[in-house]
Amino acid sequence: MTESSVQSALWPAPHATGAVEATVTVPGSKSVTNRALVLAALAAEPGWLRRPLRSRDTLLMADALRAMGVGIEETIPSSSQTSRGMGDSGQAATTGEAWRIIPAGLHGPAEIGVGNAGTVMRFLPPVAALADGPVHFDGDPRSYERPLGVVIEALRTLGARIDDENRGCLPLTVHGGGALDGGRVEIDASASSQFVSALLLSAPRYNQGVEVRHVGPVLPSMPHIRMTVDMLRAVGAQVDEPETGGERNVWRVTSGAVLGRDLTVEPDLSNAQPFLAAALVTGGRVTIPDWPTRTTQPGDALRSLFTRMGGSCGIVSTSDGTALTFAGSGRVHGIDADLSEVGELTPGIAAVAALADSPSTLRGVAHLRLHETDRLAALTKEINELGGDVTETADGLVIRPRPLHGGVFHTYDDHRMATAGAVLGLVVPGIEIENVGTTAKTLPDFPRMWTGMLAGSGSGSGSGSRSEAGSGSASGGDPGPGAGAGA
Ligand SMILES: O=C(O)C1=C[C@@H](OP(=O)(O)O)[C@@H](O)[C@H](O)C1
Ligand SMILES: C=C(OP(=O)(O)O)C(=O)O
């Protein structure tokens, strides 16, 4: 098969013949990995990143930093090396991949491919402003449509010179001058929290630091901004959030050195979503090892969201740390939820909602129209083409469950559309996922993990027995077309 035929192939989504019972090891968080790479690249000394996510978005980030002169060495640490660090839930890492990041003077000229990674296209122009020459950014066709003008204008206010031939979108060139003044900037981040995170992450290296004031009507994905602030503080940056005197949504980062750290990346809790959903929709039980007890990841909200939808869960101590066990009850309920803080969970919640015993209203997620695809339109069309009844609202979806039938579930190059389709396929026979390889954006091993999860508990192989699935540890099952493609 050529790469393009692999990409467009249809993947027969496995159907669960019984309750899913599995332990699933989920790879590291995209959002933590890409923030950690940026901060380590800006540091005054080398640092370590353990259990990083290795996916299209994070490899694009690493390659982009390398293009500007940063050293990133990929090593497998010996079992005697252990680590603790920011974002760490307390468990020691004794195995797995580790990247050593060796900061250097940032150089241009450089060519950066952002793919369709919001974190790369938003977080790196502020870094490139510190380079000593031009840094050119380009990406997938969809990246041209995703908003970037707010970051471009803010950087200009802070002293950067940028050529944006497409006016506010990619492609663009940041003419780095080796340093940036910094200062105060007002932005409207209602289209993406990543605008705020982008400006804060590089701010300690700007001459005057940065004060960012959000002045727009809404601000989505607050946990991701908290993640940025937490991770900045963990590398020694001073970040003030004056919430008194009527000042909300203001962040001040003081100019100062960024420390090199040793960080173990938490599992990606948003990527745990399809596996937890599998327990919910099949009345099964799924355990996710290393679920952190304290985290800024929005995926932690799945514990309450999926409990409201009919499941139950608990964090348990294990010999290696902590794990989340989530159990379905055999019933799936609809939900009325404001998902503005956790927008990236919407596709997975919509899939579960389409299988529920009552309607759902998902609100606060108008900005999803500007994600990997227009997720509100895509979910509406794809669920309805399987017999569903979904309508778009100004800021979300209303989902009235109907009996669904098989068919092709199109994914629009959106990893979370693919995993949402896989959840539907557990319950609805005959669903085929177009381009499941698009999951490589954040979870390259998804098809193998999914079939591994089902190997002992469903998909025609009997129900009730336990299976183990995880990145690199799943056994059995066809990895499916496109597995690993696109990275
Ligand atoms: O900062 C981050 O790591 C992210 C922020 C969110 O973006 P938006 O605020 O644009 O939704 C989220 O949806 C995305 O998956 C990751
Ligand atoms: C919106 C997402 O990604 P990005 O980082 O490209 O914005 C996502 O992963 O759901």
SS (H, E, C) 59-113: HHHHHHHHHCCCEEEEECCCCCCCCCCCCCCCCCCCCCCEEEEECCCCCCCEEEE
Distance CA 85, CA 108 (A): 31
Q: Residue 373's closest CA among 405, 410, 413?
A: 413
Instruction: Please give the annotated binding residues, written as ranges.
Output: 30-31, 35, 118, 146, 192-194, 221, 344, 371, 375, 416, 441
CA distances (Å), origin 85, targets 51, 264, 289: 12, 6, 18
Contact 180, 206 (CB under 8 A): yes
Mean pLDDT on 380-392: 98
Of ligand 2's listed atoms, the one at least distance from the Cα of 371 is 1
Give me the sheet containing 98-102, strands edge to edge: 71-75, 98-102, 47-50, 262-264
Q: How confident is the model at residue 248 (pLDDT cuts 50, 70, 90)?
A: confident
Kindly state the tokens that stand for 195.
């605008």
Query: Mean pLDDT for the chain?
Result: 90
pLDDT at 96: 72
pLDDT at residue 167 tops 70: yes
Nearest ligand by distance to the CA of 441: 2
- Whether pTM > 0.80 for this model: the answer is yes
How many angstroms does the Cα of residue 341 sit away from the middle of ligand 1? 10
| Residue 51 pLDDT exceeds 50 | yes
Atom of ligand 2 nearest to the CA of 416: 10
DSSP code at position 40:
H
pLDDT at 265: 98
Q: Which residue has the higher pLDDT, 468 or 290?
A: 290
Counting runs of H as helices and runs of E as strands, what totals does the chain give?
Answer: 13, 24
What single DSSP character describes residue 28? B
Query: Of the bound ligands, which one is closest to the alpha carbon of residue 225?
Result: 1
- Binding site membership of 193 for ligand 2 (Cβ less than 6 Å): no
Residue 60 has pLDDT above 80, yes or no: yes
For the CA of 34, the nearest atom of ligand 2: 5
Token pair in block for residue 426? 């557990």
Instruction: Give distance in angstroms: CA of 330 to centre of ligand 1.
Output: 32
Mean pLDDT of 458-479: 42
Tell me the two tokens of residue 48: 């370590």
Do the Cβ atoms of 442 and 268 come closer than 8 Å?
A: yes
Confidence bin at 320 (pLDDT 50/70/90)? confident
Counted residue by residue, the chain has a size of: 487
| Rounded Cα–Cα distance for residues 47 and 36 (Å) | 10
Q: Whose CA is nearest to atom 16 of ligand 1?
A: 31
Tell me if 328 sits within 8 A of 310, measured CB to CB.
yes
pLDDT in tens, 228-244: 999 999 999 999 998 65
Return the ligand 1 atom nearest residue 228 CA: 1
Answer yes or no: is pLDDT of 459 > 60.
no
Reply yes or no on whether the pLDDT at 81 is more than 90: no
Q: If you measure from the C-alpha of residue 404 to the centroid of ligand 2, how many angstroms do you get, rounded to a whole number?
A: 28
Confidence of residue 478 (pLDDT cuts 50, 70, 90): very low
Pocket test for ligand 1, best of 53, 192, 419 (most atoms within 8 A of CB): 192
Per-residue model confidence (pLDDT) at position 246: 58
Query: How far, in Å, from the CA of 12 to the mean position of ligand 1?
Result: 29
Distance 91 CA to ligand 1 centre (A): 26
Q: DSSP per residue over 177-236, as a string?
A: -S----EEEEE--SS-THHHHHHHHHGGGSTT-EEEEE-SS----HHHHHHHHHHHHHTT
- pLDDT (0 to 100) of residue 436: 98
Task: Decide if 153 contacts 180 (C-beta within 8 A).
Answer: no
pLDDT-derived band at 468, boundaries 50, 70, 90:
low
Q: How confident is the model at residue 15 (pLDDT cuts 50, 70, 90)?
A: very high
Which residue, by CA, sits nearest to atom 4 of ligand 2? Answer: 118
Burial degree of 79 (CB within 10 A; 0-12, 13-18, 19+): exposed
10 Å CB burial of residue 171 (0-12, 13-18, 19+) is middle
Better pLDDT: 480 or 158:
158
Provide the pLDDT for residue 125: 98
Per-residue pLDDT of 250-303, as tens digits, reads: 999 999 999 999 999 999 999 999 999 999 999 999 999 999 999 999 999 999
pLDDT score of 372 more than 60: yes
Position 359 confidence tier, pLDDT thresholds 50, 70, 90: very high
Q: Is the CB of 367 under 6 A from ligand 2?
A: no
User: Percentage of the chain with pLDDT > 70?
Assistant: 87
Asked if residue 58 has its Cβ within 6 Å of ligand 2, the reply is no
Give the closest residue to 271 by CA, choosing from 300, 308, 296: 300
**How would DSSP label each residue in 270-319?**
TTTHHHHHHHHHHT-EEEEET--SS---GGGGHHHHHHHTT-EEEEEEET
Atom of ligand 1 nearest to the CA of 368: 11
For the Cβ of 117 lying below 6 angstroms from any atom of ligand 2, the answer is yes
d(CA 264, CA 91): 9
Q: Which residues are known to be catalytic?
A: 344
- pLDDT at residue 472 tops 80: no
Residues with CB under 6 A from ligand 1: 31, 118-119, 192-194, 197, 220-221, 224, 343-344, 367
Give the whole-angstrom CA distance, residue 297 versus residue 239: 19
Q: How far apart, in Å, are the Cα atoms of 374 and each of 116, 145, 357, 456?
A: 13, 11, 27, 36
Task: Determine the average pLDDT of the residues in 449-469.
Answer: 64
User: How remote is the CA of residue 320 from the centroid of ligand 2, in Å?
Assistant: 30
Give the dihedral of Cα atoms 304, 305, 309, 314; nearest 10 deg.
Answer: -30
Q: With a 6 A CB cut-off, is 371 part of the ligand 2 pocket?
A: yes
| CA–CA dist 198, 39 (Å, integer) | 11
Does this complex have an ipTM over 0.95? yes
**Separation of 30 CA from ligand 1 center, angstroms?**
10
CA distances 15 to 341, 355, 423, Å, are 31, 14, 9
pLDDT digits (tens, 9 = 90+) for 122-140: 999 999 999 999 999 999 9
Neighbours of 407 (CB within 10 A): 14
Question: Of the residues 269, 372, 415, which should be mutated to test ligand 2's pocket, given the most ligand atoms within 8 Å of the CB?
Answer: 372
Q: In what order do the strands lie in the sheet with 396-400?
A: 336-338, 360-363, 396-400, 389-393
